[in-house]
Amino acid sequence: MSHLLILGGTTEANALARAVAETGLRATYSYAGRVEAPRDQPIPMRVGGFGGVTGLVDYIHSNNVTHLVNATHPFAAQMSANACAACAKTGVPLAALTRPAWQPVDGDNWRHVPDIAAAVAALEGASQRVFLAVGRMHLDDFAAQPQHDYLLRLVDAPTDPLPLPKAQVVVSRGPFTKERDKALMEQHKTQLVVSKNAGGTGARAKLDAAHDLGLPVLMIDRPVLPPRTELATPADVLRWLRHSGVNLGV
Ligand SMILES: NC(=O)c1ccc[n+]([C@@H]2O[C@H](COP(=O)([O-])OP(=O)(O)OC[C@H]3O[C@@H](n4cnc5c(N)ncnc54)[C@H](OP(=O)(O)O)[C@@H]3O)[C@@H](O)[C@H]2O)c1
């Protein structure tokens, strides 16, 4: 019997879970456990790290996983590398469900940096009002630039003191709209937006808002991931599963 493991935590993984649930295929959705209340899924869920490549190999064996789809965020480089390594070791077919990177359009004022460290370095200088849209995990890195007035949007309210002395927190998990993001940035008097190049529609609103408001964006480019089969939509994944010998019964 086939068993699909979906590495999730993204809008794309959620859409895939819905599509897979309709087929009746045995599948499990895996969350890292980064947020307090992960969204419910229409397929069984597990939460928490596997314990590196060895742990993922053990999980694959003990749960008879036959196919793996990595639908994690494009910045989840460690999990993506572990998935490639574990599938190479076990012979389990692997595909990634990915989304194209955002591209600037006419009138956008983006400065590209290769990674978080370069984004931190680029914030050297006089105090500005910065919408820091990089998620909770990297806030400590920006403690090296404490002079700015930061606007942070987080999925959960912080429980520990923030590493940034001047920060306003908005708790929201989206989806976001351009109009509401414009209002948020106007109210904060944002002068600069810092964003990862996540791609997709869910988090694009802040870039469209920055465009309309004429604000510069410090764009953190994606990490380079190991080569793998990349698919664009849940329908592509279902086709890939069929070609890999899975009987989807539809
Ligand atoms: N990075 C972002 O900007 C971002 C944004 C939105 C959502 N997310 C989601 O948040 C999760 C963590 O992202 P990250 O950037 O911290 O990843 P990461 O740095 O690549 O992963 C670090 C470790 O977290 C565990 N992990 C990550 N994703 C997992 C998953 N789906 N299921 C089980 N364990 C997982 C693995 O632990 P073990 O080594 O112990 O297995 C992995 O080695 C991902 O699922 C991602 O899709 C990330």
Q: Report domain extents, the chain.
A: 4-100+224-244, 110-220
pLDDT at 250 over 60: no
List Cβ neighbours of 172 (8 Å cut-off, separation of 6 or more).
Answer: 153, 155
Nearest-atom number in ligand 1 for the CA of 78 is 20
For ligand 1, pick from 10, 73, 152, 176 the residue to mutate: most ligand atoms within 8 Å of CB: 73
Output the pLDDT for position 64.
Answer: 98
Inter-CA distances, 73 with 70, 86, 223, Å: 9, 18, 11
**pLDDT digits over 160-196, tens only?**
999 999 999 999 988 899 999 999 999 999 999 999 9
Output the pLDDT for position 109.
Answer: 97
Q: Does domain 4-100+224-244 have CATH number 3.40.50.2000?
A: yes
Output the pLDDT for position 198.
Answer: 93
Decide whether any atom of ligand 1 lies within 6 Å of the 32 Cβ: yes
- Assess whether the region 4-100+224-244 and the region 110-220 belong to the same CATH fold: yes
**Which helix (H) or strand (E) covers residue 179, if one does?**
helix 178-188
Output the pLDDT for position 22.
Answer: 96
46 Cα to the center of ligand 1, angstroms: 13
pLDDT confidence of 248, banded at 50, 70, 90? confident
Provide the mean pLDDT of the chain. Answer: 96
**Which helix (H) or strand (E) covers residue 195, if one does?**
strand 192-196
Rounded average pLDDT over 100-107: 96
Q: Does domain 110-220 have CATH number 3.40.50.720?
A: yes
Inter-CA distances, 220 with 83, 163, 206, 217, Å: 23, 20, 14, 9
pLDDT confidence of 217, banded at 50, 70, 90? very high
